[in-house]
Amino acid sequence: MSLALTAYGVAATLPVSENPTADFSDTPWWVALIKAVGIFVYLLVSTLLVIWFERRVIGRMQQRPGPNRNGPFGLLQTLADGMKSMLKEDITPANAEKLIYTLAPLIAATMAFVSFAIIPVGGTVSMFGHETPLQVTDVPVAVLLVLAVASVGVYGIILAGWSSGSTYPLLGGLRSTAQVISYEIAMGLSLVAIFLYSGSMSTSAIVSAQSSLWYILPAFFSFAVYVITMVGETNRLPFDLAEGEGELTGGFHTEYSSMRFAMFFLGEYVNMFTVSALATTLFLGGWQAPPFISAINDNMFGGGWWGLLWFTAKLWLFMFLFVWLRGSLPRVRYDQFMRFGWKFLIPITLAWVVAVAFIRGAQLGFLGDSKLTFAGRELSVATVVIVSIVAVIALAAAWIWDDKRAARAAAEDVTPPEEIDPFGDGYPVPPLPGQRLNEPTRSGHQLAASREPVLTTAGTSSTSTAVKEEDHG
């Protein structure tokens, strides 16, 4: 089977992927239900552990112990915090839209669980006499399903900010929505290279295609972009701008308490597991064993229930990355973060996708019967690779030059005066670096004198006498 591709003078014949997808022919509905419940329990237990893990690791990084009271090594601290959330008073603002206010955290929490249904967490195993893959379901466009469900999860954030009837949650919801939508574009573009290499959008087929080579090597740039965008997608430090305590007092969930707040908390951590599982599936071979272990005996340590072990180990590598970033990096500025997404990540990822398309077409044309032609000329693999790399570097250099040019222009436009009047605008203004204070004007002296306290003595000031009469009256 082959797929003909012709665009902008480029002609190539690309073979359709022959990697097998998961076989669910021997999976009755009740086995699928058991797997769904198992995934739900797996995510809940993992969330309890990762909250404890995050607090312990950051405690070590900050030279403090972290939770160590409830249970051995403090393992039951997260469970105690959950019970506390259940017993706290659930307060609803008077101006809130009651139905939407309650529905928003449910949307944010449930969408993260739905995305995990198409992730293969292991190979084919035997369950109650049936041979079934450790995956709830799979579709030909499974990766697009994850992106679609993540987009629906944004509704929970924006509805929470709007329905609270308060200013700060509304601003936090708008900020978070703009952030998530912006970085979803770069995330989706970074996955196009995986589709080109595997020839499929099915998660099980992508895992099968990485049996000999993990895609983190040929698609290294896509992996770097995906890691950046998955941190921005989950509103985690250094990109937790939707919950900036300094300017938004908590963001879109400021007015939430008790279990409604706990639902947002749960949804954030489950979403971390979802994006990490997708990165494991697309770039690190999914549930397959590492190459040095699979080379020894792939049947003994690489398939069946062993796949769940390798998948979990890779998953927790990304969770450690989340924790490490939170304990190491400060929060970035919002305008810089959005400019980085729109003016750098999206253009350079587009250039990378075009480069991968040319490289992949040249490889298939060189290895197969067809040839990659451009404007009537046959192109070699080396030529396409060199041209693609130069194009990506040129785009990055142009972005850096444009950024520096804008910074120089801004510095030239804003030139503070050398002398300022501290009382010129009616209130004291401190000088900027390089400025000096001139003599205050007469109005400035009068304004300063008028701001002196009036209540000087109890018997001589008419103002104080009036105040006393009001107090006793």
User: What are 335-370's pLDDT values in tens digits?
Assistant: 888 888 888 888 888 888 888 887 777 666 554 444
- Say what the pLDDT of residue 5 is: 40
Amino acid residing at 291: P
- CA dist 113 and 122 (Å) reads 18
Average pLDDT value for the chain: 76
Cβ–Cβ under 8 Å, residues 358 and 382: no
- CA dist 204 and 194 (Å) reads 13
Q: Measured on CA atoms in the order 256, 243, 108, 314, is the torsion positive or negative?
A: negative
User: What are 257-312's pLDDT values in tens digits?
Assistant: 888 888 888 888 888 898 999 999 999 888 888 877 766 655 556 667 788 888 99
The string of DSSP letters for 163-194 reads HTTSHHHHHHHHHHHHHHHHHHHHHHHHTHHH
- Say what the pLDDT of residue 408 is: 72
- CA dist 407 and 379 (Å) reads 41
Between 248 and 231, the more confident residue is 231
Q: What is the pTM of this model?
A: 0.74
- CA dist 289 and 286 (Å) reads 9
Average pLDDT over residues 243-253: 70
Q: Give me the residue spans of the domains in the chain.
A: 29-332, 419-472
Cβ–Cβ under 8 Å, residues 77 and 159: no
- Say what the pLDDT of residue 413 is: 60
Least confident window among 2-16, 89-103, 366-380, 451-465 = 2-16
Alpha-carbon torsion angle 37, 40, 46, 47, nearest 10 = -150
Do β-strands 436-437 and 419-420 pair in parallel, antiparallel, or remain unpaired?
Answer: parallel
In eight-state DSSP terms, residue 241 is G
